[in-house]
Amino acid sequence: MRQEDKGRRRTSTRTPLSRERVINTAVKVADDKGVAALTMRAVATPLGVEAMSLYHHVASREDILDGMVDAVFAEIDLPPRDTDWKSAMRHRAASARAALRRHPWAVGLMDSRTRPGAATLRHHDAVIGALRAAGFSVSMAAHAFSLIDSYLYGFVIQELSLPFSNSTELDEVAQALLHEMPADDYPHLAELITEHALRPGYDYADEFAFGLSLILDALHPDEAAGHSAPGLPSSNAPDSGPAHPGGSAPAQ
């Protein structure tokens, strides 16, 4: 019996600690308690180890944050290469919004790291590459990327702060506001609530798609038709738009 017990102890070894396990656990801690609660001890406890053991796999709390941000970027779909640039940007933005909703703590950290990981670099390179392949100059690709992400991050921050998360809760909040608010004093707000927010089938998520479409429709490739960034195919999609005289020359 004693020999069998020893055999069981030898075969039931603990899963080895690794950087990936540390980062994944840190993400779960932040998802549950917020990034402010992220300490080395808070990460070590669910792993069943002492905080000092983490330093064999991560250098510091900042190193953990770097890894966490990279893990979120790894969840975001890259812009598809088999479609027009607007559809590619729309797909990628929707995927990013979904990832940020899963990890609310991440929205304020996404572009804050000075040591970005491989997933972060791959994501940024793919977005820029999709725009360059569609005929955006380097400068216009930078403008477009910044504009899209400013809208994306801002919308998610606003969305996460709303006092409702579904249509049922929205209806309850709106009805309570209408009941307490003198409609004669705030006629335009009352009109918006009754004719827009409370209309059948309304979903606040539709506001994201509406705003994103306005931004994408305002952006236009500004280099010669058929331009392709190094290593990427040319885009002949109808959304590429006409070339504008005087567009920036490709950067080498």
pLDDT digits (tens, 9 = 90+) for 206-230: 899 999 999 999 999 998 654 555 5
Is the pLDDT at 12 greater than 50? The verdict is no
Q: For residue range 167-199, what is the model confidence (pLDDT) as tens digits?
A: 888 889 888 988 898 988 999 999 999 999 888
Query: In the chain, pLDDT over 70 holds for what percent of residues?
Result: 83
Q: How far apart (Å, rounded) are the C-alpha atoms in residues 46 and 228?
A: 49
Q: What is the pTM of this model?
A: 0.80
Residue 85: which of 251, 247, 248, 222 has the closest Cα?
222
| CA 230 to mean position of chain CA atoms | 26
- pLDDT range class, residue 164, cuts 50, 70, 90: confident
Residue 96: which of 81, 74, 115, 116 has the closest Cα?
74
Is the pLDDT at 239 greater than 50? The verdict is no
What are the start-end ranges of the E strands in 168-230?
none
**Taking the chain, what is the end-to-end CA distance rounded to the nearest angstrom?**
73
- Mean pLDDT of the residues in the chain: 86
Q: Which residues contact 198 (CB under 8 A, 6 or more apart)?
A: 171, 174, 175
| CA 49 to mean position of chain CA atoms | 31
